[in-house]
Amino acid sequence: MLQTVGGPRTVRSPRGVERSCAGWGQEAALRLLMNNLDPEVARDPEHLIVYGGRGKAARDWASFDRIVETLRTLRNDETLLVQSGKPVGVFPTHEEAPRVLISNAVVVPHWATDDEFWDLEARGLTMYGQMTAGSWIYIGTQGVLQGTYETLAALARIEFGSPDLAGRWMLSSGLGEMGGAQPLAVTMLGGAALLVDVDPRALERRLGLRYLDRLAGSLDEALALVQAAARERRAVSIGLRANAADVYPEIVQRGIVPDVVSDQTAAHDLRVGYLPQGLTVEQAAEARARDLPGYLARVNASLATEARAILELQRRGAKAFDYGNSFRARARDAGVADAFAIPGYVPKYIRPLFAVGSGPFRWLALSGEPEDIRRIDRALASEFSENEHLLRWIRLAGERVRFQGLPARICYMGYGERERFGHLVNALVHDGELTAPIAIGRDHHDTGSVASPYRETEAMRDGSDAIADWPVLNALLSVAGGATWVSFHHGGGTGIGNSLHAGLVVVADGTPEADRRIGRVLHNDPGLGVARHADAGYESSRALARTARFRIPGLGDAPSGGPQSP
């Protein structure tokens, strides 16, 4: 659905059971592409920017229009190729092949630098797809919410010996489409949070979506509110309009130590993702246009100031971590030699989940009906009644998460669970218990789909942090399994030159054909994550692989044959 309202067009996904495409695979791609640009979902839809600095859904509006037109004429035995946000070909394949194959921002390694890439982008030759922006599976801030929740829950267990953050408070910055998940994740775990952002629009957006509880007018007020809440074991999140490079050193100067400290600005993209001290959003844009080298020097100085303050808070007892936004790498480049004394969140807290194939799994109701998601919530609670942690999350999400665009849900699920869930959802569609088919996918930030030495693959046991064969194999395996669409990206999350990663979507339309695809794709995808970690020497992965339905040559006896549908 395209609307023009006195200027820039507004894009919203179609709803309901009527299709404009030949099949539900094409229709799902169309709806999720449009959903990524829904004003409720995207950070800057007028410029096709979804989240994460400049992560886009399509290269330009002409490319967007051609993608939409092509999806509406694409046959069930054809595959559309999308090169960095631009449709470049439709080829004959077969009905169980993917309907769309996407590659975003992939450049030859020698040219994989910010300067080279953004020059190519400015010339209209490529596009930064982030992770789920250019793969058409973004679901708003909810998409990172559970990952933040899982990280903080693990932090509470490991650092404080507690199941939650009650009585603790966290200092962090960045309330964009990713960082905006932080305040709600903290309060879901019973803690208090002080979140700093220089952009008033980001603060108001989080308030409107109920991810943030209230704003403070000054640092004095913010600290009084958050410290009182921690003492009283109340869950509350406080937003403060300010620059983190001003606030963090001031907190150090006052001798105040938060329980937890982090940063989730879009530091991977220094041109737009991290604003220097002394400038508003508008002034920063003017300074960039007037003198980019001078502007970037100011950015680096501010980022270094914040990093040194975090390191000092860490020395004084705060539990610090880098949330995978390249903050440490940028700080080191800016002269903070010990920036990597701040641990990364994956090796510190999340790797045990990745090692057993567990990661951020998600699904969207193509009908647009919230009740379809709630029906799946109830079925999931019944099917996975033994998993108390999962059920707690589903209950909290149902109570606290406001849908953005198409109704969706996210949940960490591991090897075996995703496949089991997919068959369950396909049966619900087949039996008419859901209004329309469901698109099932995941973040590219997952167990076996990414090589990112500053985040997902940091500090691998065997030193294989930078080995990027695994995301390539992941994408190829998803194509072989018959995913509805598959994407391969460069740079998402941690920036150009720092990561390669793959994504997928499979559509549950209630048919036996969809059930076969689900059985292959949702078995193989997390299974490769187990295999990747088993290869790196993680014993939990190796133990799981010994009983899995895939085989690792040389590991030992394992059942042969592929996954079977129930």
DSSP 157-172: HHHHS-SS-TT-EEEE
Q: How far apart are CA 84 and CA 502, in angstroms?
A: 14
Lowest mean pLDDT among 92-106, 342-356, 462-476, 545-559: 545-559
Around Cβ 404, how many Cβ atoms within 10 Å? 21
Is the Cβ–Cβ distance between 325 and 339 less than 8 Å? no
Q: Answer whether residue 537 shows pLDDT above 50.
A: yes
Predicted local confidence at residue 1, as pLDDT = 56
Q: Which residues contact 546 (CB under 8 A, 6 or more apart)?
A: 555, 556, 557, 558
Q: What is the mean pLDDT of residues 106-110?
A: 97
What is the tens place of the pLDDT at every residue in 298-319?
Answer: 999 999 999 999 999 999 999 9
Q: For residues 56-75, b (16+ Cβ closer than 10 Å) or e, as one string?
A: bbbbeeebbebbbebbeebe
What is the tens place of the pLDDT at every residue in 239-263?
Answer: 999 999 999 999 999 999 999 999 9
Predicted local confidence at residue 2, as pLDDT = 55
Q: How far apart are CA 558 and CA 560, in angstroms?
A: 6
What is the tens place of the pLDDT at every residue in 222-238?
Answer: 999 999 999 999 999 99
End-to-end CA, the chain: 38
**Sign (positive/negative) of CA torsion 26, 48, 135, 179?**
negative
Q: Answer whether residue 558 shows pLDDT above 80.
A: no
Look up 411 and say whether it is catalytic: yes
Which domains does the chain carry?
1-8+23-140+350-551 (3.40.1770.10), 164-343 (3.40.50.10730)
For 360-410, the DSSP string reads EEEEEETT--HHHHHHHHHHHHHHTTT-HHHHHHHHHHHHHPPP-SS-EEE
Is the Cβ–Cβ distance between 236 and 229 less than 8 Å? yes
What is the tens place of the pLDDT at every residue in 21-42?
Answer: 999 999 999 999 999 999 999 9
Predicted local confidence at residue 144, as pLDDT = 86
Predicted local confidence at residue 248, as pLDDT = 98
What is the tens place of the pLDDT at every residue in 39-61?
Answer: 999 999 999 999 988 999 999 99
DSSP E strands in 233-375: the ranges are 236-241, 260-261, 319-320, 359-365
Amino acid at 528: L
Is the Cβ–Cβ distance between 60 and 124 less than 8 Å? yes
Q: Answer whether residue 503 shows pLDDT above 70.
A: yes
DSSP state of 348: I
Is the Cβ–Cβ distance between 501 and 452 less than 8 Å? yes
**Can you give the pTM of this predicted structure?**
0.90
What is the tens place of the pLDDT at every residue in 389-398?
Answer: 899 999 999 9
Q: How far apart are CA 203 and CA 119, in angstroms?
A: 32
Q: Answer whether residue 115 shows pLDDT above 80.
A: yes
User: Which residue of the set 195, 196, 364, 411 is catalytic?
Assistant: 411
Q: How far apart are CA 303 and CA 245, in angstroms?
A: 7
What is the tens place of the pLDDT at every residue in 147-197?
Answer: 899 999 999 999 999 999 999 999 999 998 778 899 999 999 999 999 999
Measured in degrees and rounded to the nearest 5, phi and psi for residue 380 equal -65, -40
Is the Cβ–Cβ distance between 443 and 369 less than 8 Å? no
**Sign (positive/negative) of CA torsion 188, 194, 198, 201?**
positive
Q: What is the mean pLDDT of residues 489-494?
A: 92
